[in-house]
Structure 1
Amino acid sequence: MVFTLFSSHTRLLAATVLLTAGFSGCKTATTPIQQAAPAQPVILSIGDRTFSTDDFFQAFTKNQISGDSAGRIDIKEYFELYTNMKLKVLAAEAGGQDTTEAFREEMATYRKQLAQNYLTDKEAVETLANEAYQRMQQEVDASHILIPVAEDASPADTLRAYEEVQAIRKRALAGEEFGQLARQFSKDAQTAQNGGNLGYFTAFATVYPLETAAYTTPIGSISAPVRTRFGYHLIRVNNRRASRGKVQVAHILLRISPSADPAGQQLVKTRIDALYDRLQKGESFEMLARDNSDDATSRNNGGILPPFETGRNVPAFEEAAFALTTPGSYSKPVLTNYGWHILKLIGRKLLESYLELAPALRQKVVTDTRADVLRHALEQRLRREYTVTEDKTTLTALTAKADSSLLRGQWKAVSLTDAALLNKPLFSINNTPYQVAPFVQYVQQKQSPRQAGSDPAVVMQRLYNRYLVDQLIRTEEENLDRKSPEFRALLTEIRDGVLLSAMMETNVWERSMADSTGQRQHYEANKNRYKMPERVVATLIEASSDEQLKQVNTMLTASPYQLRRSSPAVTFGLNETAVPATGRDALYQLLVTMVRNGDYLVEVSGAQEAGERDTVSAARIRSVVSYLNRNGIPLTRIMEKDNKAFGNPANPRQVTFQFFSTNKLDVAKAINASKPNSVTITEGIFARGTYAMLDALPWKPGTVTTPDGNRLVQITISRVEPARLKTFAEARGTVINEYQAILEKQWLASLRQRYPVKINEDEMRKLAK
């Protein structure tokens, strides 16, 4: 059941209101300031406060729309909830909850968030989102030449860069090869020696002005100079192709250190080739990624990366990913500037419809560089709606005070030796003056180190423009509740929700949680209602074949369960017991596996060659055990097995490692590593209705195997737990919920005594028809 105004132990109401007031709901606030409306019929009076029929009906209608059909309630039930909510809010106001500093700060935050939805031009957002979607249907292969110039460069420096890029364009149009010009003139270190080639990319992969040039310049043509914060660019469009959609892969990454010499680089290549060989022999990609990948963000998830489209990764990685066609297939080792990768295809997905992508696209266009377009449009609208008068003389005088300290983010107001300047107005909005002094404080707060080549006067002008627009936006925010009835209603709803939550916290939730005596008394008075049904302790093993089921049962014969999974062995020199340098990597892999799998135990088996000292094998085991123990693996997770001279005849000086686990689920993982989805194991305490197959069996200890489609299910019931009353600890959650309801009912009864409730039955009858 969904009640927009009433059901919340947190600030969910405010979040819901803010969310529903987003792009899909609100219109740009350009409505004229409303005149006072005539008096409306009153449906409810609480104390000396009255509530109109129209306000109640709007709240009721909103609840009906926002709630699912199964949870909707009739108008009389809702009226009771509405009345209770208004009682609580009235009590909050009477207690001064709406005057506290915490409340004011919270409401200021909500107001600002809500105002953003009304300040954004929804039509402009939709236009940009649609444009982005149209672009996403194609991928562009482009090259560029960059002539850098600071975003805040002086006009002279900006002109110089522009003229330089125009001269290069003229040469390209005259027939000189673009790639050669890029190698000669472009200052983009990442692409210049590649002829300026950016590879294929799509919408949102680069800054908006560059993207626009790439999508609007014909194939084979060269764009006019494009200004970005990096400088001036020329774009040559080499090709376009249809979108390849998104691809999702898992990868194993072995990094190459930037300082690695050829021998070190070859060592990484040898390791990746060894992993590739192990994959070809049937080992699990997930296990190899988890135990070997240097990508810390993905290895614990089997190397799986988020889906991506063209232009989001380095070209070699992307091409290898998109070349895979069958889920589960994997690439040969691929070299990128990060190291060596092996990629496994998880899935491919074509570009979704605009209807599916629209919400995400709307969010993107207001947060990427397109936001500059939206802010400029907002500025233009507000300049039309408000009278802005700027004092250029004062601005010029102030700009002259900017010096190189502003470029370092260290400019201070003491630079202004003319005290009279601080009191002069910079501009006015609807005849309200904004003086220099507050702007100076703004500059000190907002300044930051600038690019080399920036000009102090240009930086000061940029900060001034931003400050003026900020004040226009603040003025608009202050007027929104008068200009927009919808904004005012939503803000009131948030306000009431915050007050309601605070009062419920104090009078119900905190009291119910803290009053352990009251909880216990309620439990004792009603304990016969808190019942635990009959349950069984059972294990369900689902297997793809009788052979797989036998394998599981064999592995589960005794705990800890042997997983038939090993880790690379360590080979010792003759009569040596200290771990050799060649074995450190193997020990590190073993340690990583043990750390990542908390239920694992490891059997450390040592041996010795005929002719070595009798104590050598035991000493080798101790060296390994000591290493693991020093690095946080307790001795309780290590099993020692001394084979003496009866180890592996082919390599008798090895210490080998076998994994065991105390968790049955690890057995399923070990089997599925070589044959995916062949086994599932579920164990727990189950009541009737959890599993139909379990319900169909006699509930008594024993094991039954039954077919389920083309699979087998083995059900083992360890014991039956008869129905009984729940203990206080088991029932506590339900007890607290019920106790809260009692406290709330008592509180509401006291509020009704303090604030008499009167209902206009005539108005109720009209609504009930």
Structure 2
Amino acid sequence: MGCHLKLNNMLRATSFIITTALFTTLSCKTSAPPKQAVTEEQPLLEIGNEKFSIDEYQDSYNKNKFASDSTKELTPKEYLDLYTDVKIKVMQAKQDGRDTTLDYREEIASYREQLAKNHLVDKDLVEKFTNEAYNRLKQEVRASHILVAVSEDAAPADTLEAHRAAIALRGRLEEGSDFGDIASRFSKDATAKKNKGDLGYFTAFQTLYPIENAAYNLSVGRVSQPVRTKTGYHLIKVTDRRANRGMIQIAHIMVQDTNAAAGQKEAAKAKIDEAYKLLQDGESWADVVANYSDDKQSKKNNGLLPLFGIGEMVPEIEEAAYALSKPESYSKPVLTIYGWHIIKLIQKKPIESFAVMAPALRKKVVTDSRGKIIEAARARQLRNKYAVQEFADQYQEMAGLQDSSLITGKWDYQRAVSKDWSASTLFKIEEQSYDALSFLDFVKRRQQRRPKDSSPAVIFNRYYNEYLSECLFQYEREHLEETNPEFRSLLKEIKEGVLLSQVMEENVWQKSLSDSTGQVRFYEQNKGRYNYPERALATVISAKDTQTVNSIRKILAVAPYRLERKSKEILFEAGSTIISPAETSSLEDLALIMQKNPDYVVEIAGYRSTEEPEMASAARIRNVVKYLNTQNIPILRIIEKDYGSFRQAAEAERNRRVAFQFYSQSIKDVEKVYNSDAGASVLIEDGYFNRDNRYLAKAKWDIGEQTSEENGAATWVNIRKIEPARPKTFMEARGSVINDYQKELEKQWVNRLQQQYPVKVNAQELEKIKR
């Protein structure tokens, strides 16, 4: 059992290593310490010909001392058996040559690549940006900007000229010139003439990091020094700050009027006003959405839109939505570039805690514009960590190949080959050389069109620095085992975990599952382990009140069980039995519900008006059934009801409908439907129960029905039969038998391995292990 639990623990640890972002802080390179006399350490453990140190055992013990029981810590002596069993199994896997197979090497290479990614990040800087971003998310900033355009790859003289121009504009602003006026006249942002440089409200991650950084570090009314981005220099002015209003979810009714003539615009306004009046008169939101909204996507879900925050929706909808204070309240008609909208508030969610948001924020800070800053910082660290020797003369000679085609992204060094660049060393990292040809190929692959004011020399130098950084990252990745003890330890665990899984599969798991004769023999030898206690065959219903319990009992009286759930009915044109494209979306929703709920049965009810042919309703049903069959919904899950011209509806068009009612073969579907209501807490269970079941423990152990109320809940128990205690048959016990048989096979296998790999323990060293 201990070995089995240890295995599970190691596999969980391996999964955690592979899927969790692990970071490590690496120290800068230092000179080697003077050599000292080293006293040979006594091994803690010898298994066969292998020796294991006290440090190795201590590390494993610290990670796995709760392997057998998450609530009970093993002592160093108790953990010893688990540790030696794993090591013996891994040694046997290596003896079998499993660590040399192509499949194993490819699997480990994949794991190593994933693990390495997490060790190539500056953990401290990521955490700094994560905390900074979270604190900024608590506040929304409104700012304006003026852009003095200049390419990031412009010649130094052009860059200096743009910077001076930005300084000059800032001087005019400091002297009292109006920011909006200066922006509309001089800013190279295409929208500035219309919005006078106003960026609106934003928060973390919603603009380039340099602009965000300047805005969050400015007081309201102040203008920043020039801020550099790829497009040029920006002057930022903060005009307002406010607390983050959180995330919000709304539903809407939309009437389109975009690109419409004047008469159509008037019709759109009249239509939205009519919808608004219907809502005020008490018409249901769902019905108004169904009859008036032009948004086909949200219409399928009563107009519901995804959660959004500041800056993620058009301003008119955003302001109307945040102005609503009570869920289910709705706005007056609002005009946007898409048309007219009525907004209904569903929910508002405040910003979540740091603990909840941190994992997502860590991913964001390494993928948005902060990511370049993190990469650059890491590259600087690696330049300090490793000995980097650059050869300026070789670079200058190679730089002669650059020309204006670098700006168009069509540069090719092969047009001007003057020497063998593979023999020219561009730089070294430690003792590893990097030739110029590899860099030239890198430029050819990476090049892309640049702005017209870019300088080929600046572009070429940028590519050089990017290439050097990539080579440093690759060198670090390839030497992680040598430089990073944590990475080395984690990768070793992964390697052992994969080998352990392979040998366990062959020697224990697969054997226990495929050896049916061995299972039966083990069952016969250990029958006393597998028994049923006295049990009651019963149905239990628990709900908030007796009325709900009785309602559920009524539903469960007849199978399949009628659910309080329907799908939207579809309507047909007079005399038609063909499903229109407009109604197809309703059938798509119906098919999706049936696919997601395999125990559902749907009743399809067809109707016709008195003026239509008698076969119209049957034909409508038949066409719906055909559609469902094309969606892999079999006829066995469909109930057909042809009501013809009976049950005439007040609305004439509804007399030409097909309606849908869901049933289910599963009591759990009944439970799920009841629990879909807010505040509901319904439990329905059917089967065998032991005396210690929390519902049966309070009931009389007698056949019959019982109802009780306690702690604000009602419970109904119907005991249909009481079975005395008895032994389980083999088929009833098979799951437990296989599990126990696995443990027995593992025990026998480990005993054989211990004969092959004798274990010697240094008791004195074991006493040194810290708990």
> Match of 1:692?
694
Q: Which residue does the alignment assign to 1:243?
A: 244
Match of 2:436 in 1: 436
Correspondent of 2:759 among 747, 753, 757:
757
CA contact (8 A) 2:321 2:343 kept: no
Distance 1:562 1:44, change over 3 A: closer
- Judging changes above 3 Å, is the alpha-carbon distance between structure 1 residues 40 and 283 closer, same or farther for their aligned structure 2 residues? farther
C-alpha distance in 1 between matches for 2:476 and 2:626: 69
- Looking at structure 1, the residues matched to 569 and 127 of structure 2 have their Cα atoms a distance apart, in angstroms, of 57
* Structure 2 Cα separation of the partners of residues 273 and 526 of structure 1: 77
Q: Is the 8 A contact 1:137 1:351 kept in 2?
A: no
Distance 1:197 1:332 in 2: 27
CA contact (8 A) 2:569 2:660 kept: no
Could you tell me which residue of structure 1 aligns to residue 424 of structure 2? 424
2:83 matched residue in structure 1? 82
**Aligned equivalent of 2:389:** 389
| Counterparts in 2 of 1:461 and 1:643: CA distance versus 1, 3 Å | same
Does the CA contact (< 8 Å) of 2:601 and 2:639 recur in 1?
no
* Partner SS for 1:78: helix
Q: Could you list the per-position Cα deviations for residues 729-762 of structure 1 after superposition, in whole angstroms to 9, with x for gaps in the alignment? A: 6544433333332333233223222222222234
- The residue number in structure 1 matching 2:662 is 661
How far residue 541 of structure 1 moved from its aligned partner, in angstroms, is 4.1
The residue that corresponds to 1:91 in the other structure is: 92
Residue in 2 that maps onto 1:206: 207
Deviations 1:161-198 (A, max 9, x none): 65665565555555554345545555656776333333
Instruction: State the Cα deviation string for residues 371-427 of structure 1 (Å, max 9, x = none).
Output: 322322233333334343322333234344346776676665634522323311111
Alignment of 1:643-722 (within 5 A): 643-644=644-645, 647-648=648-649, 651=652, 654-663=655-664, 676-678=678-680, 680=682, 682-688=684-690, 692-698=694-700, 702-717=704-719
Distance 1:9 1:66 in 2: 6
Counterpart AA for 1:366: V
Q: For the structure 1 residues 440 and 724, does the alpha-carbon distance in structure 2 shift closer, same or farther, using more than 3 Å as the test?
A: farther
How many Å separate the matches in 2 of 1:253 and 1:759? 76
1:239 Cα deviation (Å)? 0.6
What aligned pairs does 1:541-556 form with structure 2 within 5 A after superposition?
541-549=541-549, 551-553=551-553
Aligned to 1:135: 136
1:595 alignment partner AA: L
Q: Find the aligned partners of 2:199 and 2:271 in 1 and give their Cα distance.
A: 31
Alpha-carbon distance in 2 for matches of 1:63, 1:547: 52
Cα shift at 1:468: 0.9
**CA shift in 2, pair 1:668/1:378, >3 Å:** closer
Shift of 1:498: 3.7
1:373-412 aligned within 5 A: 373-402=373-402
What whole-Å deviation, never above 9, does each CA across 1:325-359 have from its counterpart, x for those lacking one?
Answer: 4456666676666775744433533563x566556
Tell me if structure 1 keeps the 8 A contact 2:320–2:343. no
State the AA in 1 paired with 2:593. R
1:473-488 matches, within 5 Å, as: 473-477=473-477, 480-488=480-488
Are residues 108 and 571 of structure 1, via their aligned partners in 2, closer, same or farther at CA, if it must alter by over 3 Å?
Answer: closer
Give how far 1:111 is off: 4.7
SS in 2 for 1:567: strand
Q: Which residue of 1 aligns with 2:179?
A: 178
Question: Letter of the aligned partner of 1:433 in structure 2?
Answer: S
**CA deviation string 1:515-570 (max 9, x = no partner):** 45444543454455344556556554444455545555555554452647573563
Residues of 1 paired with 2:334 and 2:416: CA distance? 60
**CA drift at 1:40:** 0.9
The structural deviation recorded for 1:602 is 3.9
Aligned to 1:51: 52
Change (3 A) 1:601 1:17: closer
**TM-aligned CA deviation for residue 209 of structure 1:** 0.8
**3-state SS of paired residue (1:57):** helix
Verify the 8 A CA contact 2:522 2:737 in the aligned structure 1: yes
- Tell me if structure 2 keeps the 8 A contact 1:298–1:305: no
Name the structure 2 match of 1:561: 562
Task: For 2:718 and 2:283, locate their aligned partners in 1 and report how far apart those are by CA, in whole Å.
Answer: 32
What is the aligned partner in structure 2 of residue 577 from structure 1? Answer: 576
3-state SS of paired residue (1:42): coil
| Alignment check: 8 A CA contact 2:2 2:82 kept | no
CA contact 2:535–2:722 (8 Å) conserved in 1: yes
- Find the aligned partners of 1:251 and 1:726 in 2 and give their Cα distance: 56
Cα distance in 2 for residues equivalent to 1:502 and 1:106: 12
Contact 1:3 1:63 in 2 (8 A): no
SS at match of 1:648: coil
- Structure 1 pair 406–608 and aligned structure 2 pair: CA distance change class (3 A): same
Of 268-277 and 713-722, deviating more is 268-277
Letter in 2 for 1:144: H
How far the C-alpha of 1:65 sits from its partner, in A, is 8.1
8 Å contact kept, 2:258–2:338: no
Between 1:335-344 and 1:203-212, the stretch displaced more is: 335-344
1:607 match = 608
Q: Is the 8 A contact 1:227 1:233 kept in 2?
A: yes
Q: Distance in 2 between matches of 1:568 and 1:267?
A: 27
Contact 2:604–2:621, Cα closer than 8 Å, also in 1: no
Conserved in 1, the CA contact under 8 Å of 2:3 and 2:86? no
Q: Structure 2: how far apart are the matches of 1:626 and 1:15?
A: 46
1:593 aligns with 590
User: Structure 1 counterpart of 2:422, which letter?
Assistant: L
- Judging changes above 3 Å, is the alpha-carbon distance between structure 1 residues 433 and 618 closer, same or farther for their aligned structure 2 residues? closer
Once residues 691 and 545 of structure 1 are traced to their aligned partners in structure 2, the CA distance between those partners, rounded to angstroms, is 21
Cα distance in 1 between the residues matched to 2:221 and 2:84:
70
Cα contact 1:5–1:497 (8 A) shared by 2: no
Residues 207 and 369 of structure 1 are in contact (CA less than 8 Å); yes or no, is this contact kept in structure 2? yes
After superposition, the CA RMSD in angstroms is 4.8
Q: Given the superposition, is the C-alpha separation of residues 135 and 255 from structure 1 closer, same or farther in structure 2, using an over 3 Å criterion?
A: same
- Matched residue, 2:446: 447
Aligned twin of 2:22 = 22
TM-fit CA distance, 1:46: 1.7
The structure-2 alpha-carbon separation of the partners of 1:322 and 1:763, relative to structure 1 and needing over 3 Å to count, comes to same
Q: Distance in 2 between matches of 1:173 and 1:669?
A: 65
The question of whether the paired residues in 1 share the 8 Å contact of 2:65 and 2:79 is answered with no
**Does the C-alpha gap of structure 1 residues 517 and 298 become closer, same or farther in structure 2, counting only changes over 3 Å?**
farther
Q: Which runs of 5+ in 2 are unaligned?
A: none
User: Is the 1:4–1:66 Cα contact (8 Å) retained in structure 2?
Assistant: no
* Alpha-carbon distance change, 552 to 384 in structure 1, aligned in 2, over 3 angstroms: closer
Deviation at 1:212, TM superposition (A): 0.6
Kept after mapping to 2: 8 A contact 1:330/1:342: yes
The alpha carbon displacement at 1:206 in A equals 2.2
User: What amino acid maps onto 1:697 in structure 2?
Assistant: A
What's the offset of the Cα at 1:238? 1.0
SS of equivalent to 1:7: helix
1:570–1:587 Cα contact (<8 Å) kept: no
Indicate if the aligned counterparts of 2:214 and 2:236 stay in contact, CA closer than 8 A: yes
Structure 1: state its 5+ residue gaps.
none
SS at match of 2:83: helix
Contact 1:536–1:686 (8 Å) recurs in 2: yes
CA contact (8 A) 2:607 2:642 kept: yes
Q: Is the 8 A contact 1:200 1:310 kept in 2?
A: yes
Q: Secondary structure at the match of 1:70?
A: coil
CA contact (8 A) 2:250 2:321 kept: no
Q: Are 1:42 and 1:52, in contact at CA under 8 Å, matched by a contact in 2?
A: yes
1:595–1:633 CA contact under 8 A, matched in 2? no
Q: Distance in 1 between matches of 2:275 and 2:669?
A: 25
In structure 2, what is the Cα distance between the partners aligned to 1:539 and 1:94?
A: 56
| Residues 753 and 423 (structure 1), Cα distance of their counterparts in 2 relative to 1, 3 Å cut | same
TM-score, normalised on structure 1? 0.81
The answer to whether residue 376 in structure 2 is matched with residue 368 in structure 1 is no
Task: Compute the displacement of 1:586 (Å).
Answer: 4.5
**Alignment check: 8 A CA contact 1:601 1:638 kept:** yes
User: Which residues in structure 2 correspond to 1:322-341 (within 5 Å)?
Assistant: 322-326=322-326, 340=341
